[in-house]
Amino acid sequence: MKICVMTPLFALSGVPLAQIRFAHALADSGHDVDLILGRIDPQLNFPKLENVHLINMDKKNVKSLLFPLMQYLRVNKPDIIFAAEDHLNVTALLALILTGSKAKFSGSSRVTPFDTYSNIPFSKRWVLKQFMRAVMPRANALTCVSQDMVKQYRKLFNSPPHVCIYNIVDDHRSRKKLAEDIDDEWINDRVEPLVIAAGSLAHWKGFPDLIDAMGKLTKHKKARLILLGDGPMRDELQAQINDLGLQERVKLYGYVDNPLKYFSQADVFALSSYVEGLPNVLVEAMMCGCTPVSTDCPTGPREVLQDGKYGYLVPVKNPQALAEAIDKAIEFPVPKNLLDEVIAPFSERAVLKKHFEALGISAIDQQSRQLG
């Protein structure tokens, strides 16, 4: 089948990376796949694609994608479109309606709708909500990346069709990355427990709490924290590390091309966020063998860890509780067989199966369409 996968922007964040992984999985299954990007951050190098055709529309915002998407639909006539993020979902649905395209459409929501929509009349987010209400019936499937997000959509919309389908996290390309070499003394020569965290160095990730927690933990236990990622808070976080005298205990590594090889060398993965959609990075770390410690933020961590069965949950904005949980995770790691259990729903096979089921397409239908 001819399938189009869309995302608004390629940046160092979970949504575009998840869409690239999804496009690869579809191509590996024998489909003809286009990956449409609204634009690519000019400061970044786009990763190499395998058997996926990249279309960079190079538009500064999502609304300016409407006419290029209409042209794409007329010329390429895809069988299915998989889009991600609500602004793009609305625009893609409008393009389908205006062109009369018969393509099936599945739109995935990745962040809480309370941050996307508003009930304040005539505000931008209120207008977006009205557009979504108008075009929603054209969608063949609407999905969220966590069960909690599905519940949130049901609070905002009248009987919306949203269902939960996770992102692909566990695939063969990711597995290959685990064994790559690392040239770093903190890892190659380590004799102490290693904690790792990753994400944009932004306020909502809660990294000041994590650094505070390491300050409390290392008063009685030798351990180190590697923080992967970059962002606007880097200087502030480094100043905090210096003020607490943690230069030999906490290190900011900046952006790395392959965080999975670092995860595979760590004992504990710590997520200190104030809010998430569903944190792919938490599942990635568990795939790599890390025992997870996470804030019980909305949405996702409690669902993934199943109320603490598969890791340690702590209150949001509580460095002391975070320190105590990291201590426990070091002493009592989660067994590998349990980690394997929790990541099973995030495998490429399981996720693709759910997406096609949501669209009403069986494995036999897929084969017949490919042959046709």
Domain ranges of the chain: 2-168+347-371, 173-344
- What pLDDT sits at residue 368? 52
173-344, CATH topology level = Rossmann fold (3.40.50)
- What pLDDT sits at residue 260? 96
Taking the C-alpha atoms of residue 33 and residue 3, their distance in angstroms, rounded to an integer, is: 5
User: What's the predicted TM-score (pTM) here?
Assistant: 0.87
- What pLDDT sits at residue 371? 44
Q: Which residues of the chain have pLDDT under 50?
A: 364, 371
Give the length of the chain. Answer: 372
**In CATH, what number does 2-168+347-371 get?**
3.40.50.2000
- What pLDDT sits at residue 47? 83
- What pLDDT sits at residue 177? 93
